Structure 1
């Protein structure tokens, strides 16, 4: 969200600045409510890049389709002078990282600004496609293996790209593993189907675990990539090409065109922003902002001796400051929102000489593309979600509590009673579709009269063990709920909690250690001895990671710690109805937990989704998860049931759980 419409942080839950759905004076009862499908099919903007002349921006729009169970990728170009964005071609088949995150890239512009290149998976091959103004994008290069990266020489005469293992070799390796059997070693995920636990371009692909976490990669990904350089001007041979390695344009260390380096560094525990000229002379920024731990990244303003400083402002929001080297103050340009900074995706803003172009989103505002000039003026360049935005009537309020804990409360705009609330704890980045992993249908919950509290993670001190972070999270959640309840913003007696990954671990911890939660949803696997032994083979590095972060060892030896973390010995005390919707491979980690809950007569259900990584990526699966979570919270927090006759069996089960709750062990 931009300056002038920002969610304002509050010192406590006693007060808060509100932002309502845009352009809505009062709730229009005739409008079409926001549905789970609306959230699945939101258009996402990524890969924003500026042409070298600063006149055009390229960007990619990804949009899921429930009807086709696929994600369409389309590249656009728009003039910064104004006008309608022009679609220049398809980005091919959507590709995802090992955890399920959609892979992004920025376009590679020609030096004359007349076109750009991008990589796309088409007909089973990731090749290079080239678009020139006045024509359609065409496939330019296909190699024996998939192309993973590319760059131009400084004079634009040569193209350098990297190629992975030949696709034929990968297919042969997959066939051999299928026919001869796959060796169970530290790189094989034994919980995933051996033939491959994910589908890409309509084909099942085998994967391996190259590290100690779960970022899966294709077979033969460990093979060194081949570097290829081609002459783009074969009729005009040039000298040996020079490829400048300038590093990232945004980050903690950035280099200007003249070789000046700006770097966020720590000197004796004190953070500083240092500028080092090519002659070795140094300038240290003396203003408070430059020493702030909240500065997440810096970038040079092209052609100027100025830096942009991106300062964290809560959740995924950032203040953008402009600082002239040597000045005694910086000027705040705008506040942006849209996504967590990550090495896996390009920055949300492309920085030009005259303006920045940003993929912008916020809690109740779906993504759009905006231009921000250096006076702070903001103009919308593209809005793929304009129709959806006009239907949003929720109220979003940003909070900051003790210890810098931040969060956003979404609630109905018009209500005569205090609404129940669902808590999602982890990150609150950009448009709040479903929180981390897109699992909790936030706006449809608000449409149903249920508020949503999204809270940003705060870690316990390093070395204290992950359970201390869980306990800290529960303490922060309790304090936030108590404050919101006291202010009359929520009904503190009707509270649900859910999440993915760390957020799901917090949710399970919460229903084990608190009686205030009336419903819970989990989206990923949990700590268990099965989880340990499935990943404990020597060479994996997994057990060392558990010892470092969880402070836990062998289940046969470290029994007390496993009782504390896994929760398998205290299912008798879990009375909160819990719905688990997990990827197939991670559902196997909770076999014991689920069986013990069911055998103890607890209100629990487990759904397993095939061919999904950690973050579910198939649109039909996302819709199913959203809708079932919506039904679950409506049932347990409000006693409401969907009238769809196809859900009769679902509600018959849930009513039986509800009737049986009186027989459950009472809270101590």
Structure 2
């Protein structure tokens, strides 16, 4: 289950509930032209209370959303509150072409950023549209705060529509062609609202609403907004509610791990609409919802364009490649530097193409290339930073950037020189936080597959005392926050005296074989769990490498994980004695619950991926991955903090561990999904994981695994 959901949604970090903001009213700190009379004072604005953009609730204090004008000189350790309160924008997925959450005005003069900030005390979110004047970079941004729920992502999963993931839906503002207005989407009352903001006076005007807005664009004259709405979601929910009055027939629409009611089947029906936008200064509410009209035509594709897509062959190789259309002719670039392309754009006013590709050891670096119309491809820059959500302007490529030590910021990339310059930092407070020593590690497992990790060391540590180690999974690229799913606060753990190894799992074994041109039967790889073996071998190799760098307390090595990371952790508990503590976010893959408790669609999904069924005839295969079937031999304390919609997965394991007398703590968080979205829950998970690690580090672990941990050949598996 874990691999299916995480890959289809392309997960990485992540949250609904009401979000409220507070701040001065429209125009405070601005003169009649909207400029700030006192440079350095952040401008703020809000609407009145029309149609869903109302006054902010007193339930949430949102003063922390304001970007500070200056940062103090004092340096302190990172606390969990620093991680929870980061100002986020765009998609948490590390995708160069994903929704950026920001937009540069066509004239290049302004930058709009749609930001969100968690508030654990209220269990809500503060949200605002920040507008930066790029021509006057010393001027503080205008902050237009608004009342809204956090829009959350849904997906199609094995034919089930509207499947919730818990991830925030990345919302990106959209400038009008004349750069005089900016439109954005906010979610309120269970539906999306189209809102237009005036960057001069801060007035925000709601113009339309729909159940779920999938895309939006301005007309060329700026008189209307055209958008696509997934209207079918609401109709499907209403139909299910009516069906439920007579009882649901249990069929392939159920995914009972997450819900005991069926999901809509098939993709939602989308409609296209347009709505007139009132001229600047027109009264709020002048374009009510009932003025929307059908809009059938689609936006024409640019005659010159560039993109990336996967090669169809070889199967399973998952090789992305650069494609371009110039002068009406499409070309799939066959050069080596066009493989593993991550994003591509035609520079405005030219036919030149700038593109990013993953390269370097384990493809962990980002290369920036320029492909001129009448020339070759030139690499302009190579960086270990991750560039995400990029868009072009006539002057630069503008991207979100993630570095290991800092939250995402916004940078410009010069397409002529490759120079990268910070444009906007939404979290300047992080400059005043202690920076631990972070060392990038590189290794190959015994299958020859490369992987990387980041070893994060405490700022203050006794060099004569071995350190407890916590392993966090399973993609270490970008900002070192909390691992996949964001539940294990890396910097806060380091501040408490732990060494932390953040690792990326190696390339899928079948993908590795496909890229090497080696034939294989997927059924055999699954039955033997070869990918799990490869990932486990990589993990063991990483631990050996860490021990060559620093002194580790072998009695106190912990492993954490969500989704695929949880599968890796469970496999490690079964096949080694390296770990005396496991902190898990999801659990587990056991034969009974996998075949009976998930419903027809889930079981069929596993069968399609050649899971060994019927399990009674494939017992030896399941014993390699089932924690329940190995409960009596487990030699580690286990803590599980699961979403209520995934808690059923753990029941077989919990019962077996209790019966075997093994220590296990199980916490269930209400109204949660695969990625937990509620700020209060995230803070509680952070704090409980740290407290569990501290308590474990201060006591002697179970004696059953000590001999193996103290052995000289600690990389030898116990099976």
Does TM-score exceed 0.5, indicating one fold? Answer: yes
CA distance in 2, matches of 1:138, 1:453: 46
1:449 to 494, 497, 504: 497
Q: Deviations over 1:147-201 (max 9, x none)?
A: 333223345444322334489857755654665444433223334454xxxxxxx
Match runs of 1:540-619 below 5 Å: 540=601, 542-549=602-609, 551-619=611-679
Query: Using the alignment, how far apart are the partners of 2:130 and 2:364 within structure 1?
Result: 25
Give CA-to-partner distance per residue, 1:361-382, whole Å, 9 cap, x none. 2222122223333434444333
Q: Are positions 1:153 and 2:219 aligned together?
A: yes
* Residue among 86, 100, 106 paired with 2:166: 100
Residue equivalent to 2:423: 381
Q: How does 1:132-143 map to 2 (within 5 A)?
A: 132-143=198-209
Q: 1:64 and 2:88 equivalent? A: no
Q: For 2:363 and 2:404, how far apart are their aligned partners in 1?
A: 10
2:467 aligned counterpart, secondary structure: coil
Q: 1:282 to 1:474 in 2, by over 3 A?
A: closer
Q: C-alpha distance in 2, partners of 1:454/1:350?
A: 30
Tell whether the 8 Å contact from 2:588 to 2:627 is kept in structure 1 after alignment. no
Select the residue among 268, 271, 274 that pairs with 1:229.
274
Superposed displacement of residue 503, structure 1: 0.3
Distance in 2, Cα, partners of 1:550 & 1:387: 49
Task: Name 2:127's counterpart in structure 1.
Answer: 73
Q: Map residues 320-339 of structure 1 onto 2, 5 A cutoff.
A: 320-333=368-381, 335=383, 337-338=385-386
The 1:153/1:556 distance shift into structure 2, 3 A limit, reads farther
Partner deviation per Cα, 1:447-491 (whole Å, 9 max, x = no partner): 111111111122112522282222111111111111121232644
Q: Is the 8 A contact 1:410 1:446 kept in 2?
A: yes
Greater displacement, 461-470 / 495-504: 461-470
CA gap of 1:261–1:482, structure 2 versus 1, over 3 A, is closer
Deviation at 1:94, TM superposition (A): 0.4
| Structure 1 residue aligned with 2:27 | none
TM-aligned CA distance change 1:163 to 1:242, over 3 Å: closer
C-alpha separation between the residues in 2 aligned to 1:590 and 1:397? Answer: 35
Q: Which residue of structure 1 aligns with residue 82 of structure 2?
A: 38
CA distance in 1, matches of 2:190, 2:549: 56
Distance 2:109 2:364 in 1: 28
- Any residues of structure 2 matched to 1:238-277 within 5 Å, and which? 243-246=298-301, 257-259=302-304, 266=311, 273=322, 275-277=324-326
- Which ranges in structure 2 are unaligned for 5 or more consecutive residues? 1-71, 91-100, 154-163, 280-294, 512-521, 709-717
> 1:615 Cα shift?
1.0
Quote the Cα distance in structure 1 between the aligned partners of 2:488 and 2:312. Answer: 43
- Distance in 2, Cα, partners of 1:512 & 1:386: 44
Match of 2:143 among 80, 87, 90: 87
Matched, 1:465 2:506: no
CA contact (8 A) 1:573 1:665 kept: no
Q: Give the Cα separation in 1 of the matches to 2:108 and 2:74.
A: 44
* C-alpha distance in 1 between matches for 2:206 and 2:73: 52
Residues 263 and 518 of structure 1, relative CA distance in 2, 3 Å threshold: closer
Structure 1 residues 600 and 133: CA distance shift in structure 2, 3 A: same
| Structure-2 separation of matches of 1:182 and 1:106 | 38
Alignment of 1:83-482 (within 5 A): 83-90=139-146, 92-97=148-153, 98-143=164-209, 145-165=211-231, 172-173=238-239, 176=242, 179-192=245-258, 194=260, 208=263, 210=265, 222-232=267-277, 243-246=298-301, 257-259=302-304, 266=311, 273=322, 275-280=324-329, 284=333, 286=335, 288-290=336-338, 292=339, 294-313=340-359, 317-333=365-381, 335=383, 337-338=385-386, 347-374=388-415, 375-402=417-444, 403-415=449-461, 416=463, 417-458=465-506, 459-462=508-511, 463=522, 464-465=525-526, 467-482=529-544
Farther-moved stretch of structure 1 (507-516 vs 528-537): 528-537
Taking structure 1 as reference, are residues 497 and 489 closer, same or farther at Cα in structure 2, changes over 3 Å only? Answer: same
How many residues are paired up? 574
Aligned 1:531-542 pairs, distance under 5 A:
531-537=594-600, 540=601, 542=602
Q: TM-score, normalised by structure 2?
A: 0.72
Alpha carbons 1:93, 1:120 under 8 Å: kept? yes
CA 1:265–1:590: 2 relative to 1, 3 Å:
closer
CA contact under 8 A between 1:144 and 1:167: conserved in structure 2? no
Instruction: Please state how far the C-alpha of 1:413 moved relative to its aligned partner.
Output: 2.9
CA deviation vs aligned residue, 1:116-171 (integer Å, no higher than 9, x gap)? 21111124431110112223353433346443332233454443223344898577
| Cα offsets for 1:479-509 (capped at 9, x unmatched) | 1111121232644553111110000110011
Please give the secondary structure, in 1, of the residue aligned with 2:394: coil
The answer to whether the 8 Å contact 1:400/1:407 transfers is yes
When residues 636 and 600 of structure 1 are mapped into structure 2, their CA distance, relative to the original with a 3 A threshold, is same
> Could you say if the C-alpha distance between residues 91 and 405 of structure 1 is closer, same or farther in structure 2, counting changes exceeding 3 Å?
farther
Where 2:628 maps in the other structure, the secondary structure is coil
CA separation in 1, counterparts of 2:530 and 2:324?
A: 39
Greater Cα offset, 505-514 or 144-153: 144-153
Q: Match of 2:541, SS?
A: helix
Aligned residue for 2:165, secondary structure, equals coil
- Checking the alignment, whether the CA contact within 8 Å between 1:188 and 1:209 is kept in structure 2 is no
Give the TM-score normalised by the residue count of structure 1: 0.78
| Unmatched runs of 5 consecutive residues or more in structure 1 | 1-27, 195-205, 212-221, 235-239, 247-256, 340-346, 640-654
Contact 2:190 2:211 in 1 (8 A): no
CA 1:115–1:84: 2 relative to 1, 3 Å? same
* Alpha-carbon distance in 1 for matches of 2:165, 2:357: 28
Contact 2:438 2:455 in 1 (8 A): yes
Secondary structure of the structure 2 residue equivalent to 1:503: helix
Q: CA deviation at 1:56?
A: 2.0
Distance 2:578 2:562 in 1: 20
Q: What is the distance in 2 between the residues matched to 1:176 and 1:392?
A: 56
Post-superposition shift, 1:76? 1.4
* Cα 1:425–1:124 shift into 2, 3 Å: closer
Q: 1:302 Cα shift?
A: 1.5
What is the aligned counterpart of 2:697 among 617, 622, 637?
Answer: 637
